[in-house]
A = this chain, B = another copy of it.
Amino acid sequence: MTAQPPSSQTASDQAASPPDPRNTAVLTITCPDRTGIVAAVSQFLFVHGANIIHSDQHSTGAPGGTFFMRMEFHLGGLDLAPEPFERAFARVVAEPFGMGWRLSYAARPKRMALLVSRYDHCFLDLLWRVRRGEVPVEIPLVISNHEDLRRDAELFGLPFHVVPVTRENKAEAEVEQVRLLHEAGADFAVLARYMQILSGDFLRGFGRPVINIHHSFLPAFVGANPYRAAFQRGVKLIGATSHYVTEELDAGPIIAQDVIPVTHRETPESLMRLGRDVERRVLARAVAAHAEDRVLVEGNKTVVF
């Protein structure tokens, strides 16, 4: 449940005034709702010298509901090294309240693998945002079923692996993809318009979150060719949806959605072109939220702080 602490020096003494933005951590919690949770967590952090920067909470409200919390805090004044701090938190707070929890350290950004096919827009947009520091991740590898985007990947200095996928070799191809992902130490994977459906075997084999961008406003236009379907239905908005991948196609928990207005003047082709801008914006938003531990999943829904 808990990530490995990056190193013991994160517990060193706090800098006088402008605190190091890398010397922070995020604690996320999911547990049965009851009174006293906020008090217990904030008291624990206060006592151990963790200075809360942001705090968000949510409750599903009904009796028997679920409580969600995200707290971001500075580690500079911590009186324990990360490991004993986590052990203490588990014993003193998490266990009594039956919490599922995770602690992520800014000093150890998540490792994001990218799966792509031929479309470059979502791919380039993510690479550029990572380069600018907008999305706190490292990219250990790019996997594609085509050669097309090799040059773009390599210009950003990224390993590019082509794993061709055919109807016949799909199972083996997925085994190879999962092997590459594990070898690269990927914490999560992003399908940046990767044009193959992942099997349950892949998802179980990888065992970590996979984020997809679907080019429609789900649940409208599930499946292939949503822009053509939108054109035929004559909708006045087109959209994009980023969601966690589950075995059921286009049915996983939604992280982000957006739309843009369109008119009768559009063709399926121009819808596709306009849609690219929404797709890359929505995917970037979802990936940033995941990378910053702002997404908590409960059943088929997300809490996005």
Contacts and interface: CB of A to CB of B under 8 A. Distances in A.
A235 B264 contact: no
13 contacts: A35-B52, A35-B77, A54-B57, A58-B264, A120-B132, A124-B124, A132-B273, A218-B220, A219-B221, A219-B235, A233-B254, A237-B239, A277-B281
A234 interface: yes
A58 to B, nearest CB: 6
B120 A128 contact: yes
A222 to B, nearest CB: 10
Nearest to A236: B257
Contacts of A217: 217, 220, 237, 259
A96 interface: no
A165 to B, nearest CB: 24
Interface in A51-71: 51-59, 61, 63
A42 interface: yes
Given A46-B39, A221-B219, A267-B61, A234 B301 contact: yes
A8 interface: no
Contacts of A58: 264-265
User: 7 closest pairs, A vs B, by CB?
Assistant: A234-B301, A220-B220, A39-B42, A39-B46, A38-B42, A236-B257, A264-B303
Contacts of A124: 124, 128
A302 interface: yes
Interface string A93-125: 000000000000000000000000000110010
Nearest to A50: B35
